[in-house]
Amino acid sequence: MPDDEGHPSVDEMQLGNVLSALSDPLRRRVIRELSLAPVGCERTCASFELPVSKATTTHHFKVMRESGLIRQVNRGNSRAAQLRIDDIENRFPGLLDMIRSEQGMTK
C-alpha cells in the first residue's frame, strides 16, 4: 500500500503505470532532466517550467509520484522532486537509459 503521500514501495511499482506515466512527452522530459542531473538532485516542480498551467504541472507530478518514478518530499515552502533511480533500475533495468538517450529531446 502506497504511503500517505502516494509513493508506492519498490514492489508495488507496476509496469503498466510506469509505461503510462512515461508515454507523456512532458513527463518524459522531466524524468530525462532528472536522470541527466547529478545523482540525488532535487528540484521543485516549477523549476522545470513546463509549458502548461500550475494545475496541470501538479497533475503530471502526481502521476509520476504515484507510478513510483519520483519521490516528492516536503521542504517547508515547496516540495522537492527526486528521481527514484535505484528503485527504477532494480525493477526495470535499462529504462532510464532509454529516457536519457531519447532523440529529438536535445532542446
Partner DNA sequence: TTTAAGGTACGAGTCAAATCGTACCTATGG
Partner DNA sequence: CCATAGGTACGATTTGACTCGTACCTTAAA
- What are the C-alpha distances in Å from 103 to residues 45, 60, 77, 100? 24, 22, 35, 9
Q: Which does 102 bind (CB under 5 to 8 A by kind): a second copy, DNA, none?
A: a second copy
- Give min distance, CB of 33 to DNA, in A: 14
Residue among 15, 36, 37, 52 that touches a second copy (CB under 8 A): 15
By a kind-dependent CB cut-off of 5 to 8 A, residue 35 interacts, out of DNA, a second copy, none, with none
Give the integer Cα–Cα distance in Å for 46 and 29.
Answer: 14
Check: CB of residue 68 under 8 Å from CB of residue 10: yes
Gyration radius from the chain CA atoms: 13
φ/ψ of 73, rounded to 5, equals -120, 145
Chain residues 61-100 in contact with a second copy, contact rule CB under 8 A = 92-95, 97-99
Q: What is the DSSP letter of 104?
A: T
Q: Which residues bind a second copy (CB under 8 A)?
A: 14-16, 19-20, 22-23, 25, 28, 92-95, 97-99, 102-104
Which residues would be at the binding site for DNA (CB under 7 A)?
Answer: 20, 23-24, 26, 44-47, 52-63, 72, 76-81
